[in-house]
Structure formats: structure tokens, C-alpha cells
Amino acid sequence: MEKEKHTKKRLSLKWSTTILIVLCWVLPIFCIVGLGGSYIIDNFESQTQEMAMTSVQNAVKLTKSQLDASITASRNASYNSTIVDAYNKYQKDGDVLSFHSTVQTYLAQQYNHDDRFLSAALCFFNEPDDIFFSSMFIRPSESLYYKENVAGKAYEIAQGSETSIVFFTEDERLYMQRNLVQRGMEAFGALTLELKNETVFRPMKNIAMVTDATIWLNDIPVPMMGEAMTGMEIEKFPISGSVYIERENEDYIAGVEKTDNYEFRYLIHVDKHALGQQADGFKMILMGLCILLVPLMGIVILFFHRMVSRPVGILNNAAAEIEKGNFGIQVSENFHSKEFQFMAGSFNAMSDTLKNQFEKLFKEELALRDAKIMALQLQINPHFLNNTLEIINWEARLAGDVKVSRMLESLSVMLSATMDRKHERIVHLSEEMMYVDAYLYIISERLGKRLSVEKNIDPELQDFYVPRLVMQPIIENAVEHGIQPLQKGLITIRVYRDEESVVLEVENDGIMTNEDEEKIAKLLDQEQPEGEGDSYNLGIRNVNQRLKIIYGDEAGLYIKMNKNQHTVAKIIIPIHQQQQ
């Protein structure tokens, strides 16, 4: 009772698996996703700000590199002696054509193929109206535009700029100007270069998550994208470096970079909505993962139910049926797992084997009981009969009647075999032959010299096990059907080994009719229902059934005519089925 209570407290495999999945898989994943997602979301904004800062700083670095390269290209006009030498030569010889050709060629070669510049203009202070203009776009309108709108402004700036780099704008065009000096540092002209924004400021224009951006070159504002920033934002600039500014719902990145040639300032309006969209997308991913965990948990539980829990339950129920005595129950379920399918097949084979074993034992006991009943023939107490025969035997011996005494002894041996006091279903061949000899002695006393018996028994098979009383019905059948009708005849008994079987053979010189063969075939047919008949016919059926039950289909009784037209009954017992 205590064991049953303890068993009821145990969880089923299904619930154990479910609890294990929830505790060791679902709950940890929810905790990891929840806590990790919360931490990542909390730090996502700062990380995004750092990413934006890094992107801006890299763009500023690349833009400054382009500006520095442009400034270096502008210095070549002073450091290269071509223009200075041409100018000094012109001052001496007044050769205008040679001077113009040299200057124009130099500007075209130096700046027309540089992707950072749209045009290059050069004027000399002693002749300000004589302007040399070169552009990668060979259009007269460009030269005219410069002379009408830019040249005057450039000349005024050049008068007060000495040798430093000056930036100025005109109609949203950005120009860079520097004075040309001779070896004595005396300025004699000015070089004005129009910068190509798409090349020089491309890094600033490609910054992600930016709506508006403006840079200042020496306080000259240059809009990069969106609307130009006003001077109010300039107050937020740091002294140097860069800073992330949060004001109400607007985010900015401001910075100052100072060089020997110019001061580079920038103010960038960061698209906070774009930053939030990335955070929202990450939140949606986390929510999707959490929602996805629910069907995944269901799939895992269903998988364990179909692959483990359900097969175990079916096998457990089938085992309970066997425990109740329902031998032979079969598991017909087609499992999805190769292992459980193998277990189901093994279970079915075990159940079928148990059923066959129990049926075999039951049938064997019934057959042995029938054999004993048919051998006795009379419903009398065998113990009483045996004791009575012993008394009669002693009386016959006292009277000197040896023949009667030996007949009584033979009859007593047969009665002892039928009683089977030790309940042995198989006996040694030597013991079985003792029962045969007893029966043949009694019959020989009745028939006398008219009955001849020959025996050919392999001495090595004397200890071979055979079913009890397996030969007596066969010999009795040979006497009654082969010898009795003619009142004489020969019975030959052979026991020999034939490959993997032992053959017990009884031959008589009687002849079977076609009717006899058909009758014997029906008696030996396992599919034919048992009918009524005499004890001899029932004995033949009983021997065949017992052989099949004990040794299987390889064993059995066979009765046929041989080439000498004699009736031969063969009992075949497989050697490998021997039960010692």
C-alpha cells in the first residue's frame, strides 16, 4: 500500500519533460532576452550617439584632408617658379604673347585636371583688369561670370590678405584665394580657386542620420545639406574638438578643428527620429523573439510528446496488460522514432513468445494427459491396479508359472509409464525402449512365433531425450493395422541420426490402402479439427501434436509406404531442439 502511494506521487514523463523545458529552457531564455534587451535598449541611445559622433569625426577628418590637399595645390603657384619667372621676364621684355601663353598653360596643366577645383583665376596687381582664367568646363560664360561677379571681390580681398588662405562665397559658390609672392615675400598677384563641393565635401554630405549640416571655414558658412544653420547655433560650439548637444527634441553635433591655415567648424543636426527607428526596430525584434518562444515551446513539448512521452505511455499500458495476464497483446502504433519502433517490435515479439510459450505448455499438458488416458483405457485407479498386479505376480511365481509372471511384469512397466509419478515429459531413449519392450513382450505372447521383431538402435543415442510414450502408440498401430489382420508379420524398429535430426522409425510389412492413406493424412493435418476415432487413431494424432508442441514445426510424425510396399512410421526430432 505504501508502495502504491509512493508511485502515485511521481510525475508522468510528459509533465516532467514540460517542467524541465520551462525551467531549463523557456524561463532562462525569457530572462536573458528581457534583461539583456532592457540593458541593450538602455545603452542603445548612447551607443548610437557615439556611432554618430564617430561617423562625423571621420567625415571631418576626410574633408580636412581634401582641404589641405587643395591648399597644397594652391601653393604650387608660388613655390613653382614658372609664373614668377614668366612675370619677371614679362616685366623686362614686355612680350605679352609669351607671358600670356606661359601663364594660361600653367593654370590649365595645374588645375584643370584636379577634381577638387572647378576653375582657376589669376590676376596681377599692376594690371588688375588683365585676368587669366582657366576651367575644366570650357565655356565662355564661366569666364564672363567670374569677371563680372567675382573678380572685383577677389581683388579687394587680396589687397588685405597678405599670404594667408582666404575663403569667400559668391552665389553659393565657394572660393579659396591666396596671394602670389616673389622671393622677397612681395605680393605681385592673387590666385583664386573655385572648390568643387561634390569632391571636397563629399564625406560631409554622406554622413548617415543627418538632416541638416553646415560648416564654417574662417567664419564663412558653407551649407552641406538641408537648411543653413544660423549664428545662434554657433554659440554652442566647443573651444576645440566635438560635442553632442541635446536640446529639447533636437540633437546636434558641433565641433571645431583648427589648423595653421584655417579654422574648420561644423554643426550637424542629427535625425533623432532615425535613431529612434533603429531602437524601435530592435524592440520589435525582442518582442518577436519573446512571441516566437511560445510556439517554439509548444513545438518542443509536442516533439517530446510524440517522440518520447506517447510511445513510453503506449508501451507502459501494453506492459500493464501483460501483467494482467493478457499475453500476446500487440503494439500496432507506428512510432516516428527508429528506437521506439525497434522497442515496439521487440515488445511484440516478446509478447508473442510469451503467448506461444504458455499455449505450448498448456497444449503439451493436455496432450500428455490425453496420452495417459488413452494408454490406461479404463477408468480405474492405476495405483490400485499396479498393487493388484504385484500380488498376482507373486502368486504366479509361487505357483511356478514364469510366463504369466513375466507378462504381469511387462504390464506393470507399462502402467508405471502411464502414471508418470515424477511428471517427466521427456525421458531417455533407453527408458522409452523399455516401455516398448514391455508392450512387445505382451503382444508376442499373444501372437507367438507369428510376430517377428527386429531392432537396429544406434547405441550412441541411448541417452537421447524423447517424449514419454511417443513410440508405444506407433508400435501399437503397427500391430493392430499391419500384423493383426494377417495374424503374422515383421516389425522393424530403427533409431538413427540423419544429419541434424534423430529418426525413430517403425516399419511393418502391412500394406496401406488408399483409404488408409487419406485417413492418416487427415489425422496428421494440424488444420483438420479433431474428430472421434479409436484409441489407435487418436494416439497417432496425439504423438504428432506433442512433437509439434515440444520441438516446433521441424519435428513430427510421418507415415508412408516405402519401395518394398511396407508401412513406415517415422518420428523426426531436431537435435538442436533437445532439452537435456
Count of C-beta atoms within a 10 Å radius of residue 409: 16
Which position has the higher pLDDT, 246 or 154? 154
CA distance 417 to 301: 66
Strand partners for 467:
426
> 102-111: per-residue pLDDT in tens?
888 888 888 8
Instruction: Compute φ and ψ for 534, nearest 5 degrees.
Output: -75, 175
pLDDT of residue 148: 86
Contacts (Cβ under 8 Å, ≥6 apart) of 182: 84, 88, 188
**Residue entry with cell 561644423:** 266
Count of C-beta atoms within a 10 Å radius of residue 544: 21
pLDDT of residue 159: 83
Q: 189: helix, coil or strand?
A: strand
**Helix (H) / strand (E) containing 521:** helix 514-524
Do residues 432 and 573 make contact, with C-beta atoms less than 8 angstroms apart?
no
CA distance 470 to 488: 24
What torsion, rounded to 10 degrees, do the Cα atoms 424, 365, 501, 539 define?
A: 100
CA distance 265 to 195: 17
pLDDT of residue 529: 58
- Give the CA angle between residues 433, 436, 440 to the nearest 5°: 140
DSSP label at residue 26: I
Sequence-ordered alpha helix ranges (H) in 238-381: 272-304, 310-323, 338-376
CA distance 31 to 127: 81
Q: Are strands 220-225 and 210-217 parallel, antiparallel or unpaired?
A: antiparallel
Weakest-pLDDT range from 34-43, 92-101, 239-248, 377-386: 377-386
Q: Is the pLDDT of residue 333 over 80?
A: no
Integer CA distances (angstroms), 422 to 414, 427, 439, 516, in order: 15, 11, 21, 37
pLDDT of residue 579: 46
> 533-562: per-residue pLDDT in tens?
455 566 788 888 888 888 888 888 998 888
